[in-house]
Chain A
Amino acid sequence: MLNYKNRILALFIIAALLSVSFTVVHAQDECNFEGEPIRIGATGPLSAPGTVLAGIDMQWAFNIAEADLNAPPNCGIELDGVQHPVEVIFGDTEGLPERGAAVADRLINENGVVALTGEYHSAVGLSMMDVAVEANIPTVFSETFSDQITAQQAPNTFRIAPTSTIASSAISEWLISLEPEDVVIIAENTDFGTGIAESTQANLEAAGVNVEVIFVELGTQDFLPILSRIQAGDPPDAIHTTGVTGETNLNLVQQMAELGLAPTEDTICIANQVAITPEFWETVPDGNYCVFRKIGLGPASYNEIAQSLADRYNETFGSAAQSWVFESYDSLFIIADAIERAGSTDPDAVIEALEATDITLAQGRYYFPFGLNNPVPEDVPEWMWHQWPDPAVTVLQYFEEGQSGDEAAILWPEVRQTHGTSYIVPGTTP
């Protein structure tokens, strides 16, 4: 019997040693921290079916922001004269709403974070809100578009990404300015896709455009049957696919292009914003002249913070940083700034401080015009609650094979046009 017990004890000791050896040791730096670390939870998709391309970038940006915050001159967060280091705990939400709720639960209850930030998928963000609102944990969403997130007017919820109304109306406005007759919208059958399809359809139909909507399943490989179906009729003036995300969109756009359906002289090709990533030209070699949307500023308008971040991103990944990199980086600084001004990690104090945010970071000057102290007026959409009103949205178009997203021509809004035209007909150069 004794031997039996000893063996079990030995097993326990081995397990304990293993778990200790797995504990991550953070590198020391020059700041002199006396206080306990302040933990902030960040989330993003690191596994399929989430958009992993963005999740990896976001995790990188949060790590960089954490390192920058804990290095001089910031040296963490100062509360009552004591320097506290910031510790970011990143949770993988896999793009699944139920995972989002579980991860938020874990970050808040198990890891004891004082604020949440990040996230890419709106459905995940919405389910995280259920947990965060109940626990009254201040939350700054970095890259979730759904209007619902701020339209619910939860006291703890802030957002620096554009709302989907702001983002999708840019494409719709631009498209309407070209006066198309008929448009085919292809969207994934998720809340994101159906939301984009409905709002775009409503906008376009209000302008007298004939719209046909086709839903596809995320992860579909072969789109030929449905594309042939579109091709059998008269070619539409535009095929709008911003409602299909990630790798599925790249697959779809390449098959569209290879088939000679769009982009052609007759038909405009509108890809998802994933077209801005370097993977675009590897997986969509025929995608020249496709149009896509970009959130955030172009390199020409980068400030010092943005330039430094973009350079470091380029060093690590060898490509240009996307909007979610800047948004993630900035949202951690916004939270740290609010905690410091609040003088404590008490949720209500932090929320109060967040409402009074006035800080200039990589994407520009952040502020939240409407909130508890200044309710959203009748004539302003309700999603303006705790919403940064100034995210830049531009419509871009590739016109040379292999060019980077930053070299693409800006088509919309008109004041930012780089090549003096709002559409480059395939086969021509501006």
Chain B
Amino acid sequence: MHAIILIWLLLAGPVWAAVGALRLPRQYHRRGLDSSQSSYVGTLAGLVAGPFALYYLWQKTPSLSRRAMVSLFIAALAELFIIFALFFPDNLCATNHTYVTQQVLNGLTIGTIYALMAIGLTLIYSIQGVVSFAHGQFYMVGGYASLFFLDAAAEDVGIELNPVWGIIVAGFVTMAIGILFERFFLRPMHTGQIERAREYAILITFGFGFFMEYTTLATIGPQPHRAGRFIQTASLRLEPLTVGDTPLLGRLIFQPNRLASGLIAVLLIAALVYFLQRTWTGRGLRAVSMDKQAAAVTGINPLGMNTLAFGIGTMLAGMSGAALVPIFDWVPWVGAAAATRSYVVVVLGGLGSVPGALLGGLVLGVVEALGSGCYPNPSKGASYIQAFGLVIFAVVLLLKPTGLFGRKL
């Protein structure tokens, strides 16, 4: 029985997935239906149930609801887990559910900060239509702004401030830099002074990030720095959870410092959502993101909104940097890896979608934690920590470029 399942899962699954990915869109296309999601659904259906599901889809070509896609996704995850457990029966992830819970919770904590940063990126895209390739460097500058502010307060004024204050300062500093950059280098793009604006936008943001990174390195130097902690308590140990006599969960361990930064990220995201939903300016921003011309007609200045959106986006990047500076060592090149994570998150969630970025951040946090924690060869799991996110990213880009919540390309 084992062997049959194994052969099926190993050989038939991927083959049928490939068939589904490549063939199903043609069938949808032939029948004049929306084929945008069919390659994604075809892959998952082929992977989970092979020819049976594909036959059904082929014959009926049902309209693909989000619920169907989500349940297929969960089924595929379950199947991958079964393969994993069959292959590596001794792996901690297959035997120890407390461990899995711990990794998932750790991943969710760090994921909120990934989300905070990525929301900035996605906001800029939704208004400006530009992916900022300087996002990682704004994150890095935010961390340093916080460090310098806290240092100056401690040394010149003599007050040991909580790093929370640094987050606010970092937000202002990066927002100011972002607005200046937008005003001088991106605005000409929207007033028709630049040919082929999309390419220009990629290169100009990329060049500015490069400039910021090496200016920081040249002026501040490569020595690592770290801010003080949010909370001065040692690690938090939750006692094992039992219901009656059956143990449900073993002991979980948390770091209050990380939880604090995760909580701060959640609060900031909530504040941003309030701003976008409830204030006049926030609604103006959303209006511009939906339809520039229509918004202009109602009296909203799209150029001003562009600048504002870029400023808020860079502010969020700076704040997420400042939220992590008490947790990780800060060096001038931390931006590149963080930016790559943001790209993964926004593509996962769909470029331009705020809820998508939130979900994407959490998913990436969990994927990295589980990937690194479950990789069969423990001696290499840690080295591949970034790769797990990148693989998911590449797969999503190829199968479903619109991401979880994205609009049509």
State whether these chains interact: yes
A residues touching B (Cβ–Cβ < 8 Å)?
Answer: 47-48, 52-53, 189, 212-217, 219-226, 228-229, 231-233, 247, 250-251, 254, 258-260, 279, 282-283, 285-286
Determine whether the beta carbon of A228 is less than 8 Å from that of B368: no
Is B65 located at the chain interface by the 8 A CB criterion?
A: no
B99's nearest neighbour on chain A, judged by CB, is A232
Determine whether the beta carbon of A221 is less than 8 Å from that of B334: yes
Contact of A214 among B98, B103, B378 (CB under 8 A): B378
| B351-409 with Cβ < 8 A to chain A | 368-373, 378-383, 385-386
Determine whether the beta carbon of A229 is less than 8 Å from that of B378: yes
Q: Once bound together, how far apart are the Cα atoms of A142 and B48, in whole Å?
A: 61
Contact of B373 among A53, A219, A226, A285 (CB under 8 A): A226
Determine whether the beta carbon of B224 is less than 8 Å from that of A260: no
Determine whether the beta carbon of B106 is less than 8 Å from that of A224: yes
Q: Give 10 closest A-B pairs by Cβ, nearest first.
A: A225-B372, A226-B382, A247-B224, A260-B235, A52-B222, A232-B99, A216-B382, A221-B328, A283-B226, A251-B329
What residues of chain A lie closer than 8 Å to B385, measured between beta carbons? 217, 220, 222, 225-226
Query: Which range holds the interface residue count of chain B?
Result: 35 or more
Determine whether the beta carbon of A250 is less than 8 Å from that of B369: no
What residues of chain A lie closer than 8 Å to B221, measured between beta carbons? 52
What residues of chain B lie closer than 8 Å to A189, measured between beta carbons? 383
Determine whether the beta carbon of B331 is less than 8 Å from that of A48: yes
Q: Once bound together, how far apart are the Cα atoms of A214 and B224, in whole Å?
A: 24
Determine whether the beta carbon of A48 is less than 8 Å from that of B328: no
Other A-B pairs beyond A214-B379, A250-B329, A258-B255, 15, CB < 8 Å: A213-B379, A215-B382, A217-B382, A221-B329, A221-B337, A222-B328, A228-B106, A229-B378, A232-B102, A233-B92, A247-B329, A254-B226, A260-B253, A283-B225, A285-B228
Q: Once bound together, how far apart are the Cα atoms of A219 and B382, in whole Å?
A: 12
Determine whether the beta carbon of B372 is less than 8 Å from that of A232: no
**Most chain A CB within a 10 A radius of its CB, from B99, B221, B382:** B382
Determine whether the beta carbon of A215 is less than 8 Å from that of B369: no
Determine whether the beta carbon of A214 is less than 8 Å from that of B222: no
From residue A267, how far is it (CB to closest CB) to chain B in Å? 14
B110's nearest neighbour on chain A, judged by CB, is A222
Q: Once bound together, how far apart are the Cα atoms of A377 and B221, in whole Å?
A: 47
What residues of chain A lie closer than 8 Å to B225, measured between beta carbons? 282-283
Determine whether the beta carbon of B380 is less than 8 Å from that of A258: no
What residues of chain B lie closer than 8 Å to A212, measured between beta carbons? 378-379
Q: Once bound together, how far apart are the Cα atoms of A354 and B222, in whole Å?
A: 36
Is B333 located at the chain interface by the 8 A CB criterion?
A: yes
Is B257 located at the chain interface by the 8 A CB criterion?
A: yes
| B209-225 with Cβ < 8 A to chain A | 217, 221-225
A55's nearest neighbour on chain B, judged by CB, is B222
Chain B residues touching A, majority SS: helix
Is B183 located at the chain interface by the 8 A CB criterion?
A: no
Determine whether the beta carbon of A225 is less than 8 Å from that of B379: no
**Most chain B CB within a 10 A radius of its CB, from A221, A222, A285:** A222
What residues of chain B lie closer than 8 Å to A233, measured between beta carbons? 92
Determine whether the beta carbon of A260 is less than 8 Å from that of B234: yes
Q: Once bound together, how far apart are the Cα atoms of A219 and B328, in whole Å?
A: 11
A259's nearest neighbour on chain B, judged by CB, is B235
Is B292 located at the chain interface by the 8 A CB criterion?
A: no
A217's nearest neighbour on chain B, judged by CB, is B383
Determine whether the beta carbon of A232 is less than 8 Å from that of B92: yes
In the complex, 7 of the A-B residue pairs with CB atoms within 8 angstroms, ordered by the A residue number, are A52-B222, A225-B106, A232-B102, A250-B329, A258-B235, A279-B223, A282-B225
Determine whether the beta carbon of B223 is less than 8 Å from that of A225: no
From residue A37, how far is it (CB to closest CB) to chain B in Å? 29
What residues of chain A lie closer than 8 Å to B253, measured between beta carbons? 228, 231, 259-260
| B305-331 with Cβ < 8 A to chain A | 328-329, 331
What residues of chain A lie closer than 8 Å to B107, measured between beta carbons? 225
What residues of chain A lie closer than 8 Å to B383, measured between beta carbons? 189, 215-217, 220
From residue A346, how far is it (CB to closest CB) to chain B in Å? 39
B107's nearest neighbour on chain A, judged by CB, is A225
Q: Once bound together, how far apart are the Cα atoms of A226 and B234, in whole Å?
A: 19
From residue B378, how far is it (CB to closest CB) to chain A in Å? 6
Is B23 located at the chain interface by the 8 A CB criterion?
A: no
Q: Once bound together, how far apart are the Cα atoms of A216 and B229, in whole Å?
A: 25
From residue A255, how far is it (CB to closest CB) to chain B in Å? 8
What residues of chain A lie closer than 8 Å to B237, measured between beta carbons? 260
Determine whether the beta carbon of A282 is less than 8 Å from that of B369: no
Is B96 located at the chain interface by the 8 A CB criterion?
A: yes
A218's nearest neighbour on chain B, judged by CB, is B383
Q: Once bound together, how far apart are the Cα atoms of A222 and B365, in whole Å?
A: 11
Contact of A52 among B103, B223, B226, B229 (CB under 8 A): B223
From residue B299, how far is it (CB to closest CB) to chain A in Å? 46
What residues of chain A lie closer than 8 Å to B257, measured between beta carbons? 258
Q: Once bound together, how far apart are the Cα atoms of A225 and B370, in whole Å?
A: 7
What residues of chain B lie closer than 8 Å to A226, measured between beta carbons? 372-373, 378, 381-382, 385
| B85-116 with Cβ < 8 A to chain A | 92, 96, 98-99, 102-103, 106-107, 110
From residue A370, how far is it (CB to closest CB) to chain B in Å? 37
Determine whether the beta carbon of A220 is less than 8 Å from that of B106: no
Q: Once bound together, how far apart are the Cα atoms of A226 and B98, in whole Å?
A: 15
**Most chain A CB within a 10 A radius of its CB, from B110, B371, B378:** B378
From residue A164, how far is it (CB to closest CB) to chain B in Å? 20
Determine whether the beta carbon of B382 is less than 8 Å from that of A232: no
What residues of chain A lie closer than 8 Å to B235, measured between beta carbons? 258-260
B333's nearest neighbour on chain A, judged by CB, is A48
What residues of chain B lie closer than 8 Å to A52, measured between beta carbons? 221-223
Q: Once bound together, how far apart are the Cα atoms of A226 and B373, in whole Å?
A: 6
From residue B210, how far is it (CB to closest CB) to chain A in Å? 15
Q: Once bound together, how far apart are the Cα atoms of A254 and B226, in whole Å?
A: 11
Q: Once bound together, how far apart are the Cα atoms of A152 and B258, in whole Å?
A: 49
A46's nearest neighbour on chain B, judged by CB, is B222
| B178-236 with Cβ < 8 A to chain A | 217, 221-226, 228-229, 234-235
Q: Once bound together, how far apart are the Cα atoms of A225 and B102, in whole Å?
A: 9
**Most chain A CB within a 10 A radius of its CB, from B103, B234, B257, B329:** B329
Q: Once bound together, how far apart are the Cα atoms of A217 and B225, in whole Å?
A: 20
A53's nearest neighbour on chain B, judged by CB, is B223
Q: Once bound together, how far apart are the Cα atoms of A215 and B378, in whole Å?
A: 8
Contact of A225 among B226, B328, B373, B380 (CB under 8 A): B373
What residues of chain B lie closer than 8 Å to A250, measured between beta carbons? 224, 329
Determine whether the beta carbon of A225 is less than 8 Å from that of B329: no
Q: Once bound together, how far apart are the Cα atoms of A250 and B329, in whole Å?
A: 8
What residues of chain A lie closer than 8 Å to B223, measured between beta carbons? 52-53, 247, 279
What residues of chain B lie closer than 8 Å to A217, measured between beta carbons? 382-383, 385-386
What residues of chain B lie closer than 8 Å to A223, measured between beta carbons? 382
